[in-house]
Chains A and B, each alone.
Chain A
């Protein structure tokens, strides 16, 4: 019994292609060195064409190969600055976290074919996805628009909110959370906030600072730990 040498393959083994192991690919940490590969120029600016989001100071200029977001016209809605600090279980800032956001446009429509509401227009100048990393002081920043309200389960309507993912060295699987806005219409009746124990709801509320920035700290562990969701 001979096989054609050119097509002879190594013996199959217990690995990614083993049918007996088929299932979700497990999560791993983003590690400490993602800055040259993931956060692109403009990734943190959902409104304009600035270079917000990139960290070119962390590697040689010749190796900044990620694209710059394409220029776009201004999206509809109220432009907001969004920022916060990420803290670890000691209360120390996390200087190598990556934050992603996903939100509806000002009219409450997601830029996605899976949002079936044809009566609400997609804003051609607004995608609703952003990516930023924390700086040396643990702070992340975005520029975006205030999201509109979107439907919740049943006949409910959700308060304006932004879906947030937290990644980082030491974070084996992303931590999904949500950001709401202090004083926004609908917070009291929001179906998701209602599922959060009352004493922890505060951890999901961004507050407006004097300079107008909506500030949202993320506490990964410990006192006033941010509520993370099982997704």
Chain B
């Protein structure tokens, strides 16, 4: 069974307001492809062989805790019919609390934090659930236009069950006024842009420890077969 194609929330490749897309977007439409075994399989269940185990706590990777607001981000990975995607890997990377990346090519004048790398990895459980602990990243200036600032965001990378389900996205935070003026977030048409905004959740918040946010990631699901019941449970 092939996997679904993109839905209405998918951004176009060319978004003139995001200047880097100008020379980095194909000028020809993508070709339809009748999906084969190549597209419907993926390296599931072998992450330990490739990348090693989970790194779910980004605040405990160095000698001391990093600066910043400690947060717990958790949720589920689902397919587009609401079914859990178990045992799949989610990789994350982000800037520190000041909005600075540990990357050598980030030369913005904001402090590095020797106790924060900003890279993590979690595996979903049999219900598709995941959770990680990190600090809230800061906003970040970039060269797209004069006085351009990226909203605070966490980069997410998921493979899901198949080559077809590969997804790289970004998680944004509620009540961030930078989202609505950010060309990258706005590459996704409204209202679908809001799918990338996590929700503050008091039940996820750990008393005296960390604020909690919920974020479900929805991957492409297999096209519906006539023999299956459709059930959403979210």
Contact = CB atoms under 8 A, between A and B. Distances in A.
Interface of A: 6-10, 12-19, 21-38, 40, 43, 57-60, 62-63, 65-70, 72, 88-90, 92, 94, 100, 102-104, 110-115, 127-129, 150-153, 158, 161, 163, 165, 167-176, 178, 191-192, 195-196, 220-222, 225-231
Given A66-B51, A114-B162, A127-B43, A231 B33 contact: yes
A27 B41 contact: no
A15 B39 contact: no
Contacts of A152: 36
22 contacts: A16-B171, A17-B214, A19-B234, A27-B167, A35-B103, A37-B157, A58-B103, A63-B119, A69-B49, A70-B52, A88-B24, A102-B41, A115-B41, A127-B49, A153-B34, A158-B38, A171-B21, A172-B12, A175-B26, A192-B36, A229-B31, A231-B164
B42 A231 contact: no
Given A88-B23, A94-B24, A196-B31, A230 B5 contact: yes
Interface stretch (B128-136, B195-203, B223-231): B195-203
Q: Which 7 A-B pairs have the closest CB atoms?
A: A37-B93, A170-B20, A67-B52, A170-B24, A89-B23, A112-B41, A129-B43
Interface string B107-137: 0000000100111100000000000000000
Contacts of A222: 27
B50 A195 contact: no
A21 B36 CA distance: 30
Nearest to A37: B93
Contacts of A174: 166, 168
Contacts of B184: 28-29, 172
B16 to A, nearest CB: 12
B177 interface: no
A27 B169 CA distance: 5
Given A127-B43, A172-B12, A231-B164, A36 B117 contact: yes
B199 A36 contact: no
Contacts of B98: none
B51 A165 contact: no
B46 interface: yes
A119 to B, nearest CB: 14
B187 A172 contact: yes
Contacts of B93: 33-34, 36-38
A171 B46 contact: no
B37 to A, nearest CB: 5
Contact of A127 (B25, B46, B118, B157): B46
A26 B192 contact: yes
A163 B39 contact: yes
Contacts of A29: 18, 20, 168, 184
Contacts of B119: 36-37, 63, 65-66
B10 A173 contact: yes
Nearest to B104: A58
Contact of B26 (A68, A110, A221): A221
A42 to B, nearest CB: 8
A63 B117 contact: yes
B218 A151 contact: no
Contacts of B105: 32-33, 58
B203 A7 contact: yes
A161 B37 CA distance: 12
Given A34-B93, A127-B43, A129-B43, A24 B7 contact: yes
B34 A111 contact: no
B5 A16 contact: no
Contact of A36 (B103, B167, B203): B103
Given A111-B43, A114-B41, A195 B27 contact: no
Nearest to A196: B31
Contact of B202 (A7, A18, A90, A229): A7
B139 interface: no
B67 interface: no
Contact of A171 (B19, B24, B50, B192): B24
